[in-house]
Amino acid sequence: MSGKIWKTRDPEETRRVGEEIARALSPGRVVGLFGDLGSGKTVLAQGICRGLGVEVPVTSPSFVLVQEYQGTVRVYHMDLYRVEDFRELEEIGYEEYFYGDGVCIVEWPERAGPLWPEDALWVRLRRLGIWEREIRI
């Protein structure tokens, strides 16, 4: 899947790309969603979760840091936007999420600093217009 590029025209197309990405994921995988505010990270995460069988609404975990969902596998959705120092992740037991038995989707993964797993899947999102996005693996 490396090197793949999509251009989407609306949030539902972005979610469908997330579903496609989900087909390549298995337990123990970490996915980093890189992009500016408003680039579609949470929308893509919704699609990934949908593709992993999550049937409840998926929202941004900005204030709680981690949301946990059950689909065909356990899914951890993290938003590190409010993390000021990567050591904060040690306090929440990041290892359980990054190296556990589920799929871990992380918004703002650059805030994990040296704790970020080397084998994580990197997904870059870029806003092209009001609804249009470019998504790169």
Q: How far, rounded to the nearest angstrom, does the alpha carbon of residue 131 sit from its chain's CA centroid?
A: 19
d(CA 54, CA 69): 7
pLDDT confidence band for 2 (50 / 70 / 90): confident
pLDDT confidence band for 134 (50 / 70 / 90): very high
Q: Which structural domain, as residue segments, surrounds residue 109? A: 5-136
- Read off the pLDDT of residues 60-97 as tens digits, 9 standing for 90 and up: 887 788 999 999 999 999 999 999 999 999 999 999 99
Q: Are 74 and 103 in contact (CB under 8 A)?
A: yes
pTM: 0.94
Q: How many domains does the chain fold into? A: 1
**Residue 43 structure tokens:** 């929308």
**Residue 79 structure tokens:** 């938003």
What CATH number is given to the structural domain containing 45? 3.40.50.300
Q: Are 121 and 31 in contact (CB under 8 A)?
A: yes
